[in-house]
A and B are shown apart, each in its own frame.
Chain A
Amino acid sequence: MEVYFYLRLLSKTGENKRMKNSSKFQWLSSVIFLYLVNQAHGQKRGVPHDLKCITHNLKVWDCSWEASSRINHGTTYEICIVNSSYPCIQTEKTHFEIPALSLAEHEIKISSMHVSGNSVTKFILNERSVSLVPATLQIFNLTADFSTSTLYIKWNDNGSVLPRHSNVTWEIVVLYKEDMEVATIATLNTTLIGKDSLHHWSWTSDIPLECTLHYVKIRYYIDELHFSGQKEWSEWSPLRNISGPPIKENYEVFPQDKVVPVGSNMTFCCVVEEPVLTAQFGSERCSLIRLDNKSVAIEINNITVSPSSGTNVVFTTKSNMYGTVVFAGYPPDIPRKLNCETRDLKEITCSWNPGRPTGLVGPRDTNYILYERFSGRNVTYNRDEEHMNENHQLIFQMIAGQEIYNFTLKASNPVGRSEAVILVDVTRKVYPHTPSKLIVSDIDPTAIILHWHLSGNFANITLLCEIEINTAYSGQELRNITVKGLETSSYRVSVDRLMPYTMYTFRIRCSSENFWKWSKWSNEKQYLTMEGVPSKGPDIWREWSADGKSVIIYWKPLSINEANGKILSYDISYWSEEGKQHLKIPDPQHRAKIQLDRNDCIISVVARNSAGSSPPSKITSMEIPNGENLKVEQIVGIGSGMLFHWNYDPNMTCDYVIKWCNSTRSEPCLIDWKKFPANSTGALIEYDNFRSGTRYNFFLYGCKNQKYQLLRSVVGYTEELAPSVAPNFTVEDTSADSILVKWEDIPVEDLRGFLRGYLFYFEKGEKGTSKIQGLESGRSDVKVKNITDITQKTLRIVDLQGKTGYHLLLQAYTDGGIGPGKAMYVVTKENSEGLIIAILIPVAVAVFVGVVTSILCYRKREWIKETFYPDIPNPENSKALQFHKSICEGSSTLKTLEMNPCTPNNVEVVETRSAAPKIEEDTEIKSPVADGPEEGSDAEPENHVVVSYCPPIIEEEIASAGGEEAGGSSQVIYIDIQSMYQPQAKPEEELEKDSVGGAGYKPQMHLPVTSTVENMIAADGLEKAAGYRPQTHVTAWNLDSPDSPRSIDSNSETVSFGSPCSVNSRQFLIPPKDDESPKSSNGGWSFTHFFQNKPND
């Protein structure tokens, strides 16, 4: 009450103070007053204030207040609720608990009792001023699944002490790392049920829980609608952390050996003491993320399919290497094409296609379970590793009495699962095994029994089987049969409508009547059916022998279809005078001769096999004489056969027979026959062995009262061909203007058709030059005669020339063409008068011409002699041609020049500047001609040359600018001297020079005119004498001149023209133009010599 007063007072004082704070004095007095009040108030500090009430469960309010701690000690309080039956509470603490009060306002009186005095404080309290703060929770359980990195939290909601149906919001926080970063915050809502209940919450961490510490705390909030006070979150529960990884799994890298779906994001961490240097995922390096002081991590996003041994994650430290393997793969695809069928109605085989590969192998590969819903049974896929990717199938044992099966194929692997469903009526999904043990047994010649084995229990169904029947003759036949299914697997069925004595090939396949799939064909079984009685008698014919004493019976072998077995023999019976006769002819023989001696009888033939005898075939031996005027007709066939027509004859009661034979064969004439019914009027005879160009005889018989009469006789060809040989012809007679030719018939077999005529060709010409073979070209010089009268055998050709050769050619022709021709060369006989005239006239003319010529020659004999035989000097007598043997001893190329009649040559040099050398030259050159050979021997060595050649005169202009040595231009007319020989005599001084300069051939270097000049230049020449230096200083020469290059020698005296005597050079030794007559000359030398030395002069 006092407190209350003071509070009121203080508030009033406060108001006064505000009213008077304008005055300085008043402000000061107020400060003093306040101080006093404060003192007084301090004495009353034990008084409670700030009463606050909270509730944890809405049943009890927990109220507390503030009190001065200084004076609190030793203070006792009495709390009373005014106007309430609730008893007052005595306490020394500053809080109290009271049961929850009603909604109305309640006055709480707290009396403080202290040694310093008592005080009473009143508070007004209602529910709105009470806060609902739920009690702090304790996490009941916190566990971790390290393999899945999942935290599991359990806690109790204390629902028994909280109002029912209250909504509760839970907030859970997971912290990690050393610095407690928030990993996740989760909020959950529940409703209280009025009793304690455990709540669960789990959380899967992105990073493995082993990588770093994880902590968890939880708080909650109760949303009680009926509570009007303030609602607050509870306090956080104490932090709980998960215990570390199991000690025994002392791995350093996490997670270990994890299988994850492709595309996952993953964090791998390495927990080691030493620092991690690098991290590698597969083959790629990764950046490190530090989690705490001994844990680093790497993050891999969108992980791809691992190889079969997994993807390696490796952390490397300085001294060690840590790692793990992760397997990323796909969840199993939904099994595709799931199909269940049975082969034996004992077990069901379900097969499927696994679809997309999962990328996981070995223990992580997809596991399959086949679950049958009706029976609740399942089968697990037993992986056959050898055929892992080829065969996905499971076998389910059938349940007795159950036909409908509802299968679920469940596929699962560590990263997922899938399934496929199929509902199967097994009786409609029968795919039988392959039938086996096929056996055939006989019933009769046209029916057999087929036995086979088909494993399985088909007692409840009907089987549909297909039998394939094959014969070589009639081909393939398929027959479908139905068989009641058996438990015993042995089946049999009869097969009829077969042919006797026929090799059949059987095979069988089966299905169910509700067709699903055929089984595979069984193995083939060959079987020969039994023999049957021959179905008809053989086709027979008879021929009388020529003498009429015997009849030959012919019959045709029965066809396979008719024989029905192997024909063993033929039984022939006939009635003769001696009674019934029997003959037994073994099979390969198809004819029999019967001696009848012109008697008529009926002959019967029966074919017999092991099963019995055929019906008899009968024929009478009687023959009605043919009518008169039976002509042999000619028929040409239609290529493949012969067509016959005859008129209908009502008298013919049995049949018609056409028999035929090759006309060139000897008797009896029979190849084959064919029978036609009595009412027929024509027949086409086709016979495989008919050959073109072969003549056949055909005979048509009619049968009248079992007697045959020859109606027509026909000769024919199925097709005509040209004759194969030429007609053989000879020349019977020749005259000067005609030839008689005769030929022979061509044999029938070579004719190959009906002969229509001959072609005769003749042509004038020499023997061996005939072109008559190309007759058809219609050449005008070939004459032809067409002889159409085939009976004509001779031909006379007239109007020929006498003693003239003729080519003859004869050809026969048919409608099939013209045959080859035979050629012959004939010379007609000569005409004798013409020959005599032809000889006499030329002889007379020749005699006349001879006489005239003789006369003329005699008269003009002098002139003829001068013209044709003039006097010629003999060059052999010339001394110029006697060679000095020592020049080139042994040289075979040096021969006596063959002298021709030769006119002397003139060489004229026209010098324009200096006349002196010219004169000298003239004398030099002229010497061989002007002087006799004897003079030449006394002259200078250059003059011992005989020029004896009759060359063309070559006019050459040597340009004065052509060389330095040539002082000016000069006009030269010189002789191309080809033959010039060394004189026989040679002065001693020249020999010496030879010895000086003779080391080799030195052409064109210096061309001395005289010996003095030579001496002057000897020194120069010697130093260059070592070898041949052609054309060094000869640029002034016209090298195109035919002889200038080859007529050069440094020592002209020793030159040996055309001789291979030079040691050092062969340049000019073997002249290219004419090997036989060595060329070059001193005369030629003289020219060059002259020009060369002219400047020196």
Chain B
Amino acid sequence: MLPVAGEPAGDSWGMLACLCTVLWHLPAVPALNRTGDPGPGPSIQKTYDLTRYLEHQLRSLAGTYLNYLGPPFNEPDFNPPRLSAEALPSATVDFNVWRSLNDHLRLAQNYQAYSHLLCYLRGLDRHAATAELRRSLAHFCTSLQGLLGSIAGVMAALGYPLPPQGAEPSWAPRPPHSDFLQKMDDFWLLKELQTWLWRSAKDFNRLKKKMQPSAAAVTLRLEAAASDL
């Protein structure tokens, strides 16, 4: 931030020197120097919007898909134990842990989660029996791919490296995967997707707020500095 020299008040030379220093540093203030590069703000906003859109899209898809799975999967109070879905990245995290994450970790976790979820979702696409459902899933996959790209864009804009891309997890690690367990996995996949989208919306909202006031803060500090003089 702007270094403000604290000369004793009343000293006119000191004031003049301070004023000169301020003027000298003005071109270096990032908030005043952002005419060309809009920064990561818009892309964060876009990612946030995309997250909300995906939430909406998932609501429709999940309704259709759970109806396809049949009762009890489409019953509102159905809450099975997470039997075989350990491989799915879980969005559930302790609040304190979540708060202690920095932006980079937050984004990296999002990125990793969605890249895994996307692979699983494509597996879901493979065994859906009806053509209409497959079309919906393919559409959602495309949107999710877009979100992944968006997150990568935000990370790049903030100067964070992308997390290493692991090998694509195969959807059937258990060879004789029964239809029922498959349905359970599908259920959990949709549920985790939803939770992740909620979490992402929160993450990006937080990030958005964090990015926005940075420019204003600089201006405020400048004003404060001037009044100090």
A residues in contact (CB < 8 Å) with B:
248-249, 251, 253, 256-257, 280, 282-283, 307-314, 319-321, 323-325, 361-362, 385-386, 388
B183 interfacial contact with A, CB 8 Å: yes
Cβ contact within 8 Å between B131 and A325: no
Nearest Cβ in chain B — how far from A121, in angstroms? 70
Nearest-neighbor residue (CB-CB) of A387 within chain B: B131
A308 to B83, CA, bound (A): 24
Interface of B is mostly: loop
Query: Which of B80, B81, B178 contacts A325, CB < 8 Å?
Result: B178
With beta carbons under 8 angstroms apart, the residue of B73, B129, B178 that contacts A257 is: B178
B69: chain A residues within 8 A (beta carbon): 309, 312
Kindly list chain A residues whose C-beta atoms are within 8 Å of the C-beta of B70. Answer: 282, 307, 309-312
B179 at the interface (CB under 8 A from A): yes
How far is it, in angstroms, between the C-alpha of A310 and the C-alpha of B73 when the chains are bound? 12
Residues of B in contact with A, size category: 20 to 34
Are A325 and B83 in contact (CB-based, < 8 A)?
A: no
Q: Could you list 25 A-B pairs, sorted by A, with CB under 8 Å?
A: A249-B176, A256-B179, A257-B179, A282-B70, A283-B71, A283-B72, A283-B75, A308-B68, A309-B68, A309-B129, A309-B183, A310-B70, A312-B73, A312-B180, A314-B72, A314-B180, A320-B81, A321-B80, A321-B81, A323-B180, A323-B184, A324-B178, A324-B180, A362-B127, A385-B131
Nearest neighbor of A362 in chain B, beta-carbon distance? B129
Q: Using Cβ atoms and an 8 Å threshold, which residues of chain B touch A248?
A: 176
The reply to whether the CB of B130 lies closer than 8 angstroms to some CB of chain A is yes
| Beta-carbon contact of B131 and A312 below 8 Å | no
Residue ranges of B at the interface with A (Cβ–Cβ < 8 Å): 68-73, 75, 80-81, 83, 127, 129-131, 176, 178-180, 183-184
Give Cα A1064 to B120, complex, Å.
93
Q: Name the distance in Å between B175's Cβ and chain A's nearest Cβ.
A: 9
Q: Could you say which residues of chain B place their CB within 8 Å of the CB of A313?
A: 180
Could you list 7 further interchain pairs (A-B, Cβ under 8 angstroms) beyond the known A257-B180, A283-B75?
A257-B179, A308-B68, A309-B68, A310-B179, A312-B72, A319-B81, A323-B183
Contact status A253-B180, CB under 8 Å? yes
CA distance A253 to B180 in the complex (A): 10
**Does B129 contact A282, Cβ atoms closer than 8 Å?**
no
User: How far does the alpha carbon of A324 sit from the alpha carbon of B68 in the complex, in Å?
Assistant: 16
User: Which residues of A have CB within 8 Å of B180?
Assistant: 253, 256-257, 312-314, 323-325
CB nearest neighbor in A for B179: A325
B195 to chain A, nearest CB (A): 20
Q: Enumerate chain B residues within 8 angstroms of A251, measured Cβ to Cβ.
A: 178
User: Which chain A residues lie closer than 8 Å to B75 at the CB level?
Assistant: 283
- Residues of chain A within 8 A (CB-CB) of B127 are 362
Which residues from chain B contact A385 at a C-beta distance below 8 Å?
Answer: 131
CA distance A362 to B129 in the complex (A): 5
By Cβ-Cβ distance, the 8 closest A-B pairs, closest first, are A283-B71, A325-B179, A323-B180, A362-B129, A361-B129, A321-B80, A257-B179, A308-B129
Q: How far is the CB of B80 from chain A (nearest CB, A)?
A: 5
Q: How far is the CB of B32 from chain A (nearest CB, A)?
A: 58
For the complex, give the distance between the alpha carbons of A249 and B181 in Å.
Answer: 12
In this complex, the member of B130, B179, B180 whose beta carbon has the largest number of chain A beta carbons within 10 angstroms is: B180
Contacts of A362 in B (CB 8 A): 127, 129
Q: In whole angstroms, how far apart are the Cα atoms of A251 and B174 in the complex? A: 12
A280–B83 CA distance with the chains assembled, in angstroms: 18
Give the CA-CA distance A321 to B180 in the complex, in Å: 11
Instruction: Determine how close the nearest CB of chain B comes to the CB of A653; give it in whole angstroms.
Output: 89
> B131 to chain A: which residues have CB within 8 Å?
385-386, 388
Point out the residues of chain A lying under 8 angstroms from B68, CB to CB: 307-309
Chain B residues near A324: list those with CB within 8 A: 178-180
- Which residue from chain A places its CB closest to the CB of B74 in the assembled complex? A283
Of B68, B69, B176, B179, most buried by chain A (CB within 10 Å of CB) is B179
Could you say which residues of chain A place their CB within 8 Å of the CB of B130? 308, 361
> Residues of A contacting B73 with CB < 8 Å?
312
For residue A312, which residues in chain B have a CB less than 8 angstroms away from its CB? 69-73, 180, 183
Residues of B near A307 (CB, < 8 A) are: 68, 70
A320 to B80, CA, bound (A): 7
Residues in A with CB closer than 8 Å to B184 are: 323
What residue of chain B has the Cβ atom nearest to residue A248's Cβ?
B176
Max count, chain A CB within 10 A of own CB: residue among B68, B70, B127: B70
- Within the assembled complex, what's the spacing in Å between the Cα atoms of A248 and B83? 17
Residues of A within 8 A of B183 (CB): 309, 312, 323, 325
Shortest CB-to-CB span from B20 to chain A, Å, is 74
Q: How far is the CA of A1068 from the CA of B205 in the complex (A)?
A: 81
Residues in A with CB closer than 8 Å to B179 are: 256-257, 309-310, 324-325
The distance from the CB of A145 to the nearest CB of chain B, in whole angstroms, is 16
- Contact A282 B71, CB 8 Å, known A308-B129, A321-B81: yes
Chain A proximity of B127: nearest CB distance (Å): 7
A423 → B minimal CB distance (Å)? 36
Alpha-carbon distance between A202 and B72 when the two chains are bound, in angstroms: 37
In the complex formed, the residue of A with least CB distance to B65 is A309
* CB closest residue in chain B, given A284: B71
Minimum Cβ distance to chain B for residue A929 (Å): 103
Cα distance A727–B115 in the bound complex, in angstroms: 104
Taken together as a complex, chains A and B put the C-alpha atoms of A320 and B70 apart, in Å, by 19
Q: Which residues of B contact A323 (CB under 8 A)?
A: 180, 183-184
- Which B-chain residue is minimally distant from A327 (CB atoms)? B179
Closest to B135 in A: A386
CA distance A325 to B178 in the complex (A): 8
Interface pair A320/B129, CB less than 8 Å apart:
no
Are A321 and B71 in contact, CB atoms less than 8 angstroms apart? no
- Closest CB-CB distance, B138 to chain A, in whole Å? 13
Minimum Cβ distance to chain A for residue B79 (Å): 9
Query: Which residues in A have their C-beta under 8 angstroms from that of B129?
Result: 308-309, 361-362
Identify which of A280, A282, A310, A319 gathers the most chain B CB atoms within 10 Å of its CB: A310
Which residues from chain A contact B176 at a C-beta distance below 8 Å? 248-249
A314 to B72, CA, bound (A): 8
Q: Which residues of B contact A283 (CB under 8 A)?
A: 71-72, 75
Residues from chain B with Cβ under 8 Å of A249 in the complex: 176
Q: Which chain B residue has the least Cβ–Cβ distance from A249?
A: B176
